[in-house]
């Protein structure tokens, strides 16, 4: 029993060290240029099959969307790219995206990464990089 408790205690004190210093450099883990392109292509494909999400993209220039998403994922993962698109707030303004729709898009991205064979830890790191953008995207 005591041994078990110490083990659990270790888990909790470990908490403090978990969050610090995460190298935000997982571009290679995503598969580099090729990997990111594959993820974005799969992502756009997933979106085009989701009836509730695809309607948001009716008037969208998909060539531009693809280019900006590739830049963004590359940049966020520490790759050699600059993001030249518009701010998340400006892009999603007026769309009135709900929390549910946001989560659905996260799931589509996860499916896209699964299909691209992206390792779980790299998937998680990309989600972590994008999650803080949520307040600029939903309810705008």
13 or 51, CB closer to ligand HEM? 51
d(CA 32, CA 58): 30
The position carrying tokens 């009135």 is 96
Q: Residue 118 class from Cβ within 10 Å (0-12 exposed, 13-18 middle, 19+ buried)?
A: buried
Q: Which does 137 bind (CB under 5 to 8 A by kind): other proteins, ligand HEM, none?
A: ligand HEM
The region of 31-39, 71-79, 87-95, 100-108 touching other proteins under the rule CB under 8 A is 100-108
Please choose, from the candidates 27, 138, 16, the residue with its C-alpha nearest in 3D space to the C-alpha of residue 79: 27
Binding mask of the shown chain, residues 14 to 53, with x at each position contacting ligand HEM by CB under 6 A = ---------------------------------------x
* Binding-site positions for heme: 92
């Amino acid at each position: 029993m005591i041994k078990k408790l110490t083990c659990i205690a270790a888990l909790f004190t470990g908490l403090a060290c978990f969050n610090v210093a995460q190298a935000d450099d997982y571009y290679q883990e995503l598969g580099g240029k090729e990997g990111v392109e594959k993820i974005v292509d799969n992502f756009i494909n997933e979106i085009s099959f989701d009836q509730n999400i695809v309607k948001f993209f009716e008037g969208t220039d998909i060539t531009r969307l693809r280019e900006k998403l590739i830049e963004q994922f590359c940049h966020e993962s520490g790759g050699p790219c600059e993001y030249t698109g518009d701010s998340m707030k400006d892009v999603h303004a007026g769309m009135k995206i709900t929390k549910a729709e946001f989560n659905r898009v996260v799931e589509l991205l996860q499916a896209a990464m699964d299909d691209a064979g992206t390792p779980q830890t790299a998937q998680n790191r990309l989600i972590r990089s994008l999650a803080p953008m949520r307040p600029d995207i939903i309810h705008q």
